[in-house]
Structure 1
Amino acid sequence: MTFDQRNDDDQDPALQNHLHVAIIMDGNGRWAKNRGWPRLVGHRKGAERVRELVDSCPEIGVRYLTLYAFSTENWKRSTEEVLGLMSLFGRYIKREAGRMNREGVRMRIIGDRKRLDPKLQALFDWIEQDTAKNDRVHLTVAINYGGRDEIARAVRAAARDVAAGKLDPATISDTHFASYLDTSDLPDPDLVVRTSGETRVSNYLLWQAAYSEYVFTPVLWPDFTPQTMADILHEYGLRERRFGGVK
């Protein structure tokens, strides 16, 4: 059965649970290179896939979608590519803001914004405020994000609270510590998907994905369709999650 043929009655039970899926969107540059095109063409095609996947989320049972768009290590790329990506982020938000509000999509940006252009930071603040009341799909985009960097920032924030007498170190639990993370108001991901055939986590959601399921697919991100996601979710639904226990 294809994605287009599914309906609410025959949808997999695992797809009806409002899942949190996190994706490492990899392969844009290779997709473009395979066609003899500049890498930024692949990134633009990848942005189109983001729109399609967000639109399909309610039908395939995904309420929370978290996308790895730019890591703290991606500054090592060429200036042309970095500037092109930053411009693409801004254009995407401006172009999709109306659609997101119509479709009930709430957008969040996680990562360290301090290194980003002030105009882009202001745009991030605006889209978060503009979509804050939406609750149908929660789209989170990680930009200048790294799992280790996030944890270090959280530790510094907790240390400041301890120094200020606001926090007793003896009371810090894993749940309490998670409140200092960028994702403090989001559930942990149920499933982490990496495209392009690479099989590493690349510093992504290191704390949050402690008990997430993983899928590594050879599909390059610009070729990743809602049908691809639906097929992955079907496979995910066959897994048994024990969280360290026994069933």
Structure 2
Amino acid sequence: MSKSTPPLPENLPRHVAIVMDGNRRWAKKRFLPKLEGHRQGVKAVRRTIEACLEFKIPTLTLYTFSAENWNRPEEEVSALMNLLALHLKREVDELVKEGVRFRALGRLHELPPKIRDLVRDLEQKTTHNTDLNFNIALNYGGRQELIDAARSIAQDVANGDLSLDAIDDAQISNRLTTVGQPDPDLMIRTGGEQRVSNFLLWQVAYTELVFLPIFWPEFDRKYFLSALEEFSRRERRFGAAS
């Protein structure tokens, strides 16, 4: 007799953000090339998209390539870009069929032209999908995002289009790459580290954090469900009294 699927927690997040850490360490532990860890990490991304669709979580954001990742060895960066290009091409039909809307967050103008073109094509082909908002943070950094927002506000003030008194939370939020989307309710980080690593710094002000001691290639439905169960047990007060 097959075991019945456990029920989902009642209180599910609207937006889950994930720091996908541990690809290289997963490969090293198995005496495999670093790139194999990244390849297996891509499979975990596919499992996570499918779980979000199953659990009916509206928005998923994955920390795919940080602004600091350019400091890795050139050979590894080049291999990562080629792997990204390959899977952006492969995912088009599947995301369209599944009703997933794709968006890339970050300083996209600094990416290689072939990556920019693939990102724009995937965004355009999925723009009307509504079952899942799927964001990848690509050449992204939270501090860099806030710098860009500050520059935009400063330019409007200098032009006389915005007064200093009008600068508030909304003015900043509306200039971030996540504009129009809810802030993450839950952030998951794999790999055993317990930090946010310059990811969505403004947006995670009241986000619940769950750290998992597994490497990203191991992440699957079971681990996702355990993080959701942990989230459902949290009391979210947003600074108010219990």
Query: Does TM-score exceed 0.5, indicating one fold?
Result: yes
| Deviation sequence 1:176-216 (CA, Å, 0-9, x none) | 21100111121100011110100111101100000000011
Q: Superposition RMSD on alpha carbons, in Å?
A: 1.5
**Are the counterparts in 1 of residues 187 and 210 from structure 2 also a CA contact under 8 Å?**
yes
Alignment of 1:92-171 (within 5 A): 92-171=87-166
Q: Give the letter for the 2:218 counterpart.
A: D
The 3-state SS of whatever aligns with 2:198 is coil
Q: 1:52 aligns with which of 41, 47, 51?
A: 47
Cα distance between partner residues in 2 of 1:145 and 1:182: 10
Once the 2 structures are TM-superposed, how far is the Cα of residue 175 of structure 1 from its aligned partner? 1.6
Q: Percent identity?
A: 46
Where has structure 1 moved over 6 Å in runs of 4 or more?
Answer: none
**Are the counterparts in 2 of residues 3 and 230 from structure 1 also a CA contact under 8 Å?**
no
The 3-state SS of whatever aligns with 2:11 is helix
Once the 2 structures are TM-superposed, how far is the Cα of residue 169 of structure 1 from its aligned partner? 2.1
Cα distance between partner residues in 1 of 2:117 and 2:153: 26
**Could you tell me the TM-score, scaled by structure 2's length?**
0.96
Once the 2 structures are TM-superposed, how far is the Cα of residue 60 of structure 1 from its aligned partner? 2.2
The 3-state SS of whatever aligns with 1:218 is coil
**Are the counterparts in 1 of residues 85 and 114 from structure 2 also a CA contact under 8 Å?**
no
| Deviation sequence 1:68-99 (CA, Å, 0-9, x none) | 01111111101111011111111111101101
Once the 2 structures are TM-superposed, how far is the Cα of residue 4 of structure 1 from its aligned partner? 7.0
**Are the counterparts in 2 of residues 58 and 136 from structure 1 also a CA contact under 8 Å?**
yes
**Are the counterparts in 2 of residues 3 and 226 from structure 1 also a CA contact under 8 Å?**
no
Once the 2 structures are TM-superposed, how far is the Cα of residue 3 of structure 1 from its aligned partner? 10
1:13 aligns with 2:10: yes
Q: Give the letter for the 1:152 counterpart.
A: I
* Structure 1, unpaired ranges of 5+: none
Once the 2 structures are TM-superposed, how far is the Cα of residue 165 of structure 1 from its aligned partner? 2.3
**Are the counterparts in 2 of residues 193 and 216 from structure 1 also a CA contact under 8 Å?**
yes
Identify if the C-alpha distance between structure 1 residues 133 and 242 changes in structure 2 by more than 3 Å, giving closer, same or farther.
same
**Are the counterparts in 1 of residues 17 and 61 from structure 2 also a CA contact under 8 Å?**
yes
* Structure 2, unpaired ranges of 5+: none
Deviating more after overlay: 162-171 vs 187-196: 162-171
Identify if the C-alpha distance between structure 1 residues 4 and 227 changes in structure 2 by more than 3 Å, giving closer, same or farther.
farther
**In the alignment, which residue of structure 1 is the partner of 2:237?**
242
**In the alignment, which residue of structure 1 is the partner of 2:200?**
205
The 3-state SS of whatever aligns with 2:181 is coil
Cα distance between partner residues in 1 of 2:64 and 2:171: 27
The 3-state SS of whatever aligns with 1:14 is coil
The 3-state SS of whatever aligns with 1:13 is coil
Once the 2 structures are TM-superposed, how far is the Cα of residue 246 of structure 1 from its aligned partner? 1.1
Aligned residues: 241
**In the alignment, which residue of structure 2 is the partner of 1:178?**
173
**Are the counterparts in 2 of residues 60 and 230 from structure 1 also a CA contact under 8 Å?**
no
Cα distance between partner residues in 2 of 1:162 and 1:124: 32
**Are the counterparts in 2 of residues 23 and 67 from structure 1 also a CA contact under 8 Å?**
yes
The 3-state SS of whatever aligns with 1:184 is coil
**Could you tell me the TM-score, scaled by structure 1's length?**
0.94
Q: Give the letter for the 1:21 counterpart.
A: V
Cα distance between partner residues in 2 of 1:79 and 1:11: 43
The 3-state SS of whatever aligns with 2:17 is strand
Cα distance between partner residues in 1 of 2:9 and 2:201: 29
The 3-state SS of whatever aligns with 1:106 is strand
